[in-house]
Chains A and B, each alone.
Chain A
Amino acid sequence: MKKTLICTVCPVGCSIEAEVSEKEVLSVSGNTCPRGEKYARDECIAPKRMVTSTVRCSNGVLLSVKTKNAIPKEKIAECMKIINNTVVDLPISVSDVIIKDVFGTCIVATKNIRA
């Protein structure tokens, strides 16, 4: 079976064709870099996404956060619930771990907030 994908790895957005059987990806074409091939293989078998959002700090301001690595696409809604149930204390620096062990990765801060 042929699957047509738009690569989301970078802003070029290559149109990629993947030949897939029931269990595996047989061939990938149309990508212009190796990252595109990896994306297509992951996307056909186990699609993953980065999640970005905000977490409330104890003083009321918002801290922007992201998943350190991409998580399974079907876990996005659950991931958002975990993020929205979290309150963090200050100060926070960029890359600080805000929530540990979230679908194989963690939630990290993407900005600095002084107390």
Chain B
Amino acid sequence: MVDLVIIGGGPAGMSAAISAYDNGVRDILILEREEALGGILKQCIHTGFGLHKFNEELSGPEYAIRYEEQVLERKIKCKLNTAVINVTKDKIVTATNSEDGIFEIQAKAIIFAVGCRERPKGALNISGTRPAGIYSAGTAQKLMNIDGYMPGKNVVILGSGDIGLIMARRMTLEGAKVLAVCEVMPYSSGLARNVEQCLNDFDIPLKLSTTVIKVHGNERIEGVTVSKVDENRMPIAGTEEFIPCDTLLLSVGLIPETEMIKKAGIDMDAVTNGAIVNELRETSVDGIFACGNVLHVHDLVDFVSEEAEIAGRAAAEYIKGSIKKNADIKIQTDGKIRYTVPQSINAMQDIKIYFRVNNVYRDAKINVINNGKIILSKKKRKVAPGEMESIVLGKELLCGIDVLRFELEVQ
């Protein structure tokens, strides 16, 4: 029996562990499948992490070390090189590693902090051959920054998510020629600062409303055909352009890694592809929590750490038996606001709600509505799908309410 099992030793898992410890839990076990703590931060050698948490601009490994040191100081137990293969509703965790074989742990509480993975090539339906030289952007990042291999010399990147932008710069710095970054949407899905410092600084063209429609080459990729797309993201005939290249990177979105959560019978959100949680980041199963990118994909690791602190503290309260639920509020959205996290509220207290929009809107108003009445309204100069927004609901707003609707109004 272990009080708290945390699955995943990346930024979410480490932050959750520290928070649970600081709230009184001593019997904590982190299960991490890689050989070191840190998760994806280990390969994110660029800076830009920690501006919120530490008020400095750290690289990924530096940010990870700050948390790893806190985990070690508290002597929180970790099993590295350990893969979790099953979790049940009764909180039995099955895991495996080369020392212990397959083993089971009965936990009082569990926190899922397993992160997300990249959307693969197979999800894209690009016609043509399947030669070598096609990588997800994160795979290319690991090859370059951890393993020391150069994935290619003449590169096309499909998708303008942050990892794609960061890799455009990284490959350019190491001598590759990045010929184009193609984005199917009419706007970049990455942060504006990354478009500026990763593409514009190096004169890398960003082709908006453009996608790759064909891959050429047999053994190694020899080029791609790109095409403009219409507002329904369908290729426009006559706009095709052949770009010779030896490498295609895909940066086309991240998906929460939820197979185990689903198998445990936890309720899922069809929009985030993560579990449905309340303000404690507790799932539909009491005592099972989720935080970080397994719940919804965050823009910044700082927000992952912040969310994991909530889950860690809540798990500690659950283990002590001191969670009080005195509300049952569901949050709905209007589609312009794609989703909120949390999706429900179980306690009368000030609660920060995170949300993401479906398009770029200027001079927008976020209205929180109960029973057809606007109870809170917040102006936003600009909102975009690539940038997560938040709004704080004061506890005085939550009295006697069962449904809150989030709507976006364009002025």
Contacts and interface: CB of A to CB of B under 8 A. Distances in A.
Range, interface on chain A: 20 to 34
Contacts of A80: 173-174
Contacts of B42: 111
B48 A110 contact: no
B193 A54 contact: no
B300 A11 contact: yes
Contacts of B45: 52-54, 64-66, 110
B34 interface: no
Contacts of B148: 54, 56, 60-62
Range, interface on chain B: 20 to 34
A8 B145 contact: no
B173 A51 contact: yes
B61 to A, nearest CB: 4
A73 B193 contact: no
Contacts of B195: 6
A94 B173 CA distance: 22
Interface string B55-98: 00111111001000000000000000000000000000000000
Interface string A60-75: 1110111000000100
16 contacts: A6-B195, A7-B193, A8-B197, A10-B51, A10-B193, A11-B299, A11-B387, A15-B192, A51-B173, A52-B59, A53-B174, A54-B45, A54-B144, A62-B147, A84-B174, A111-B61
Given A6-B195, A53-B45, A64-B45, 15 more contacts: A6-B193, A7-B193, A8-B196, A10-B51, A11-B300, A11-B387, A13-B196, A51-B173, A52-B46, A52-B47, A65-B45, A66-B47, A80-B174, A94-B62, A111-B61
Interface of B: 42, 45-48, 51, 57-62, 65, 144-148, 173-174, 191-193, 195-197, 201, 299-300, 387
